[in-house]
Amino acid sequence: MASSTTFMAIVTITVLALCFGSSYAQLSTTYYSKSCPNVFKAIRSVVQSAISNEPRMGASLLRLHFHDCFVNGCDGSILLDDTSSFTGEKNAVPNRNSVRGFNVVDDIKSAVEKLCPKVVSCADILAIAARDSVAILEGPTWNVKLGRRDARNASQGTADSNIPPPTSNLTNLISSFRAQGLSAKDMVALSGSHTIGKARCTTFRPRIYNETNIDKSFAKTRQENCPKKTGSGDNNLAPLDVQTPTSFDNNYYKNLINLKGLLHSDQVLFNGGSADAQVKKYTYSPDTFFVDFAAAMIKMGDNKPLTGSEGEIRKKCRMVN
């Protein structure tokens, strides 16, 4: 593995190249340098506390950013609550009983509002919290581009159609990510986020009982806490990475090589297809994975942000002003 200094230099170069190459010139890594210079410290403090209390929260915050960006861009729409006159995205199929961490986002917003009222968007909070979560769990770090504004609307239907389900095959995954301006390479790198976090039995039951490209001992172990009958133990949890579920590393890819991918959409990355070579590369070059992951996160964060006078800066992330 390269030295930490060399590695961070590589990440920095990658970040700078992406920043200058972005079509969203309004986004900037120094966006809050004058209007809210302590925003990073405030957010990091809340995220660190939340992860210390529950390591899984890092994966949850990272996932919120993913699910936000895949629905009409990175605009904080996933945070909006349903009301009698408004339907948000929280009850979309990929999100219902699944996405979490909203209370932590509320805590972050409260802390930031005390420092800089009506300045920092909820969409930017998600982007920063995702980066901090990865870094705190021993993964890479990167300079987050900022300046997004918050949406006044949401789309449950778009969430249902755009966020790839755990039953996706490789072609589905490539198409879903391409629709968000992300390449197949980006998709494989971003899938590495499953090196942290947990999944519910209902999302991996078909794989552990019906599929053959799975380590038998691994399947048997997962079956112990995930009954075959639908409706029984649906919400029981299992780690997405059986080796180091609370450390952001490259063991996710090693699991795939060993046929221990928990979700169907995980194992399709190493199943005799076009992604096999990239998976193999990440197993022996964690630095390459880290650089590619950071670059893909920046690229995803550039997905159709609201900037300038578009949208708003919400006072509370759960509701429009």
77 annotated as belonging to a binding site for a ligand: yes
Q: Among the options 67, 90, 205, 314, which is catalytic?
A: 67
Q: Is 73 annotated as a binding residue?
A: yes
The answer on whether 221 is annotated among ligand-binding residues is no
User: Binding residue per annotation — 14?
Assistant: no
Q: Are 317 and 122 in contact (CB under 8 A)?
A: yes
Annotated binding residue at 71?
A: yes
Q: How many helices (H) and strands (E) does the chain have?
A: 14, 2
Q: Binding site annotation covers 227? A: no
Q: Cα angle vertex 87, ends 100, 148, to 5°?
A: 65
Q: Exposed/middle/buried for 68, CB within 10 Å: 0-12, 13-18, 19+?
A: buried
Question: Is 150 annotated to bind ligand?
Answer: no
Task: Name the CA radius of gyration of the chain, rounded.
Answer: 19
The answer to whether 67 is a known catalytic residue is yes
CA nearest neighbour of 297 among 195, 198, 173, 191: 191
Return d(Cα 42, Cα 131) in angstroms, integer: 14
Of 85, 96, 84, nearest to 156 by C-alpha is: 96
Residue 211 is labelled as binding a ligand? no
273 is in an annotated binding site: no
Provide the token pair at 304.
């159709």
* 147 marked among binding-site residues: no
Nearest to 295 by CA among 149, 136, 188, 178: 188
The answer to whether the annotation marks 215 as part of a ligand binding site is no
Tokens read off for 311:
């949208």
Q: Which DSSP string do the residues of 190-251 spell out, in sequence order? A: HHGGGGS-EEEHHHHHHHHHH-SSS-HHHHHHHHTTS-SSTTSSTT-EEESSSS-TTS-SSH
Question: Residue 292 is inside which H or E element, if any?
Answer: helix 286-301
Mapped onto helix, strand or coil, the DSSP state of residue 306 is strand
Tell whether 5 is in a known binding site. no
Residues placed in the known binding site for substrate: 164
Just list the catalytic residues: 67
Q: Which residues are annotated as a binding site for heme b?
A: 194
Known binding residues for Ca(2+):
68, 71, 73, 75, 77, 89, 195, 241, 244, 249
Q: Annotated binding site, which residues?
A: 68, 71, 73, 75, 77, 89, 164, 194-195, 241, 244, 249
